[in-house]
Amino acid sequence: MIQLLLVFNFLWIGSVVVADADISLIQDLVGNYPVVEYLGNPLSAGKAEIFVTDTEVGVRLIPLNLASYPVVNSVISSPKKDTLLRRDSKGIYQTFEKGAEQVRIDYLFGDGILVIDSSQCTLQHCVKENNLMLSRGGAPGAKVETQSFLKKVRGNYSIERAGGEPVHGETNTGEWIQSEEPGIDMLRFPFCQPTGCDPGFLDFIHSELSVFQKGNITTVMAKTTKKMLHFSWEEKGDGTIIFTNYQFKLLTKEIVGLEYVLRRN
């Protein structure tokens, strides 16, 4: 069993070791967070839900349906009893040992992200998991000026595939435009499932956006009071664009998203 913890505040809380897990060290972390890189892949799609129960502390990895690179659907946790936690200004460190089972997890604070390295050993073998990145408003890569990105992507697009399926008829076009209201952009893309497509839209406020570039992949993050806006934009060499829209409702377990293959008209 492995525990993953998110740190939302940069408060320095001196090193603490306890016989049972001191939940006060991590209580502020409970909630849903976007996965912005998983096993080295910045296009991995899903969220991490941090939870605390009467007996366990851990995380659920929930994949984005209809995505090319969903995270593995899994629950990773450790019992509160006999779990030792230590927290300092650089991260949170967890250890759990019982018989032949040993767990070590490091939660390292980055600039707007949390990098998690972990290992789990049993009598038979050890498993290491590295390069899991969860967003606290940031993403891998260099920060990009928001207006430059928006000017680049505005336009009309034909939609070749959505959710892995070809798109036909009235729903096979979309647009990314600037609203008449200052400081707002609008996306008009259909929402498609295997059963068919329906009109869809997404409006966002420029001032809420943070844009990051890593290679040919652009990641955009924006947190509001009700949701975490998260999408990626990958320009392929064949003229197509992979646009993945992730939507999270922070107060529920619901995850909604869709992956598109676009071509600019």
pLDDT in tens, 219-254: 998 876 556 678 889 988 888 998 888 765 544 555
Instruction: Say if pTM beats, i.e. exceeds, 0.75.
Output: no
pLDDT (tens digit per residue) in 175-197: 999 988 889 988 888 776 666 67
Q: Residues 139-167: what's their mean pLDDT?
A: 88
In this chain, the answer to whether the domains covering 23-135 and 142-264 adopt an identical fold is yes
At 14, is the pLDDT very low, low, confident or very high (cuts 50, 70, 90)?
Answer: very low
Mention the CATH class of domain 142-264. Answer: mainly beta
- Poorest-confidence range of 128-132, 175-179, 204-208, 215-219? 128-132
Does position 158 have pLDDT exceeding 60, yes or no?
Answer: yes
Contacts of 193 (CB under 8 A, 6+ apart): 66, 163
**Domain map of the chain by residue range?**
23-135, 142-264
- Among residues 44, 48, 46, which one has the least CA distance to residue 214? 44
Report the distance separating Cα 159 and Cα 161, nearest Å: 6
Report the distance separating Cα 182 and Cα 237, nearest Å: 33
Does position 62 have pLDDT exceeding 90, yes or no?
Answer: no
Contact status, residue 122 vs residue 193, Cβ threshold 8 Å? no
Q: Residues 8-35: what's their mean pLDDT?
A: 61
CA distances from 176 to 119, 186, 246 (A): 43, 6, 16
Strand partners, 107: 92, 116
Q: Which fold has domain 23-135?
A: Lipocalin (2.40.128)
Residue 162: its H or E element: strand 155-162
Q: Give CA 228 to chain center in angstroms.
A: 9
